[in-house]
Amino acid sequence: MRFCGLVYLSALSQLCLRGTLAKCPLQITPQSVVVKYGDPVSVNCSTSVTHMGMGWESTVGGVPLSTASLITWRVSELTDWEIQPPFCYINYGKQCEVALPVTVYKTPDSVSISTVNQTMIEGNQYELQCDVYNVAPVQKLTVNWYKGETLVDQTSFTDTIKSPVNKTSKLLIRPDRADDGAQIRCEVELNLGEEGPQPPPTNTSEPLRITVYYKPKHSNSTEIISWSNDVSLNCTVKANPAAVYSWHSEHLTEKISSSVIQSSTLSPGNYTCIATNFLGEDKKNFTINCVTGCHGTFWTVLVFPQLLVAFTSIL
């Protein structure tokens, strides 16, 4: 300060004014506060300069002018949503003041998730809703949507209102078959900054379990199999609700409604299976090829005697 007082160059003195003289010689600790609604709060204001008096001014109780070098602003229960920043002031020949930013918060009374239809159809779009009751300040609120443990969406709010509000966040989803049985939940988080509680307070809805209906779809629409004694055709395919099956082939004489056909009913040739549920159907073709020994027993019986005959005739 002494150095500054000796400097007459205008540009430098401007710097001095901003850098030193303009700074109010008050330390506020902490420099800002985050208070849960109804909780106590106390903030110190101190100075190292000699002065004629300092005090706190606030809409919720101040500290009258005092000659002490440390004065404390105290509130036993902070219950004013719209509190103006209190400020500490000092008179040391000049007068100046430092304001204290105050954030009053409240975690929500409840967080709930809902949807018109918990049963969904693959590929259609659905809306889920998260209702948050009685939370403040909404500007610090984030709604996180989770599917299982995966964060799928986030909403924040720009409203500047400081008192508690109800808020709704919506999630649009287009579920696929992999989402059948998925648990969806919304989590609200109050991000109150470094001065706020750590970790940031969160509240989570109950999980909502969704059911997704989807039609059967085979990963391969054709399958070529070599004949063997224990060959079987398996048309089993995932579908919700479960598929019903029908088989078509010139080699089948009976109606078959199971998803698997065992060897006793089969012979080489082509087979078509149709898997169906209320959303649609999916066909799968099977071809059973005869590579070797398709009628093993038959050929042994027939060929072996001939070989024997040939053999004996050579002898």
Ligand X SMILES: *[C@@H]1O[C@H](CO)[C@@H](O)[C@H](O)[C@H]1NC(C)=O
Binding site for ligand X (CB under 6 A): 29, 44, 70, 72, 107, 109-110, 116-117, 119, 133, 165-166, 201-203, 219-222, 234, 236, 260, 269-270, 272, 285, 287
- Residue 213: count of CB within 10 angstroms of its CB: 18
Which two tokens mark 39?
Answer: 């909780």
Measure CA 271 to chain center. 46
Instruction: Decide whether 12 or 70 has the Cβ nearer to ligand X.
Output: 70
**Please, are residues 215 and 277 in contact by the beta-carbon 8 Å criterion?**
yes
**What is d(CA 85, CA 98) in angstroms, rounded to the nearest whole number?**
10
CB of 223 to ligand X, least distance (A): 6
* Residue among 202 and 246 whose Cβ is closer to ligand X: 202
d(CA 121, CA 119): 7
Instruction: Provide, rounded to whole angstroms, the least separation between the CB of residue 182 and ligand X.
Output: 17
Q: Which of 133/299 has CB closer to ligand X?
A: 133
Residues 6+ apart with CB under 8 A from 174: 123, 124, 125, 126
Smallest separation, CB 15 to ligand X (Å): 32
- Of 24 and 43, the one with the shorter C-beta distance to ligand X is 43
The SS3 of residue 151 is strand
Residue with the shortest CB distance to ligand X: 201
Nearer to ligand X, 123 or 305 (CB): 123
Q: Indicate if the alpha-carbon torsion angle 256, 262, 267, 272 is positive or negative.
A: positive
Q: How far apart are CA 200 and CA 190, in angstroms?
A: 6
